[in-house]
Amino acid sequence: MLTAELVKPRIRMLGTQLSIDLLKIDDAIWLQTAADLIALLQKQQGQPLASWERALEMYEGERIDYVVVRGMVKVLTDAATFTPLETPLAPVQLRERLFPYGPVFSTPQLFQQQARSEIMQTLANELAIPHEQLEAALFADRPVAALLMDVGPDWTPEGLIVRYNLELARGVLYWASHMRIEVHGGYKDLWKYIKFFKLMFWIQAQDDGYTVDLDGPISPFVNATLRYGRQFAAFLPALLLCERWNMVATVRSPHTWNMATYKLDATSELQSHFKQSGLFDSRLEADFAQEFEEKFGSKRGQWALSREDEVLNLGPTVMIPDFALTHKRTGQRILIELVGFWHPDYLRRKVEKVRAAQCHNLLLLVYEGVNLAADALQDVPGEVLYFKQKPVLKDVMSTVDAMAARLQGAIEQNQSMDSG
> Rounded CA gap, 349 and 371, in Å?
13
Residue-range definition of the domain harbouring residue 326: 283-419
**275 in a structural domain:** no
Same domain for 159 and 25: yes
Map 149-185 to HEC letters.
Answer: EECCCCCCHHHHHHHHHHHHHHHHHHHEEEEEEEEEC
Q: Helix or strand or coil: residue 73?
A: helix
**276 in a structural domain:** no
Q: Which H or E run contains 323?
A: strand 323-327
**385 in a structural domain:** yes
Q: Which residues of the chain have pLDDT under 70?
A: 110, 216-227, 341-344, 371-375, 416-420
Same domain for 192 and 65: yes
Same domain for 133 and 238: no
Q: Which of 354, 345, 353 is nearest to 372 (CA)?
A: 345
> Rounded CA gap, 108 and 304, in Å?
88
Q: Helix or strand or coil: residue 310?
A: coil
Same domain for 8 and 134: no
pTM: 0.83
> Rounded CA gap, 179 and 384, in Å?
38
Same domain for 162 and 132: no
Beta strand pairing status for 303-307 and 17-20? Answer: unpaired
> Rounded CA gap, 207 and 225, in Å?
35
Contact (CB, 8 A) for 148 and 45: yes
Same domain for 60 and 184: yes
Same domain for 64 and 95: no
**323 in a structural domain:** yes
What's residue 221's pLDDT?
46
What's residue 158's pLDDT?
98
Same domain for 367 and 344: yes
Residue where one domain finishes, among candidates 265, 298, 327: 265
Same domain for 409 and 296: yes
226-267 tens-digit pLDDT: 667 999 999 999 999 998 999 999 999 999 999 999 999 999
**270 in a structural domain:** no
Same domain for 121 and 11: no
Beta strand pairing status for 318-319 and 81-83? Answer: unpaired
Q: How many domains does the chain fold into? A: 3
**23 in a structural domain:** yes
Residue 118 identity:
E
Same domain for 402 and 337: yes
What's residue 420's pLDDT?
57
> Rounded CA gap, 320 and 322, in Å?
6
Strand ranges (E), 206-268: 210-215, 244-252, 259-265
